[in-house]
Amino acid sequence: MRRLLIIGGALVLASCGGSDTTTIETEDGTAEYEVDGDGGAEIRYTDDEGNEAVITSGSDVDAELPAGFTIYPGAEVVSNTVITGNDGEGSLVIMTSNASVEDMVTHYRGQAESAGIEIGMEMTAGESRIIGGEGPNGEMFSFNASNSDGQTTGMLTIGRDSGE
């Protein structure tokens, strides 16, 4: 699942502009992706054992967050990436808000802890904060927030390994 979140993030960046359909053969399997002209993308990855993962990304993709997690009140979702597959599932949501970094971090810390996720990592660097942790059932969570000119950008990453 962690590998899929990284691949999904990288392909989101590659999906900006244009329209394209491509197939990529790797030593581990095949990735097919389609990028539409509106900045959306769907990537289907099938490994050599037939396991498939689907990554859907774009500004119009509905956020599929686990129970107990919500988009920060009043925030605008800039981009959302949803990953599903045999290894697990997850979402990566990028949002902006007029709220402070601290308010957004407090919001997501509370939701994570209520979901049984133990925060095991915290970092502050200038106007940026990152928290992250894991849950008892394979959940992975991180929230990164930074402020620039009064606008806070938050990136919520949450997923779960299938446990297989």
Confidence band (pLDDT; 50, 70, 90) for 151? very high
Q: How many domains does the chain have?
A: 1
Amino acid present at 113: E
Q: 17 or 160, which is more confident?
A: 160
Strand partners, 84: 54, 89
In the predicted model, is pLDDT for residue 4 greater than 60?
Answer: no
Please identify which residue in the block is written with the tokens 């599932």.
Answer: 89
Distances, alpha carbon 75 to alpha carbons 16, 60, 98, 103, 155, in Å: 22, 15, 8, 12, 11
Sign of torsion, CA 62 72 131 140?
A: negative
21-62 pLDDT per residue, tens: 777 777 776 766 666 656 677 777 777 788 888 788 777 777
Q: Which long-range contacts (CB under 8 A, 24 or more apart) does 65-70 make?
A: 65/91, 65/93, 65/156, 65/158, 66/115, 66/139, 66/158, 66/160, 67/115, 68/111, 68/114, 68/115, 69/108, 69/111, 69/115, 69/156, 69/158, 70/111
pLDDT at residue 18, as a whole number? 46
Q: 39 or 139, which is more confident?
A: 139
- Tell me which residue range forms the domain holding 107: 2-161
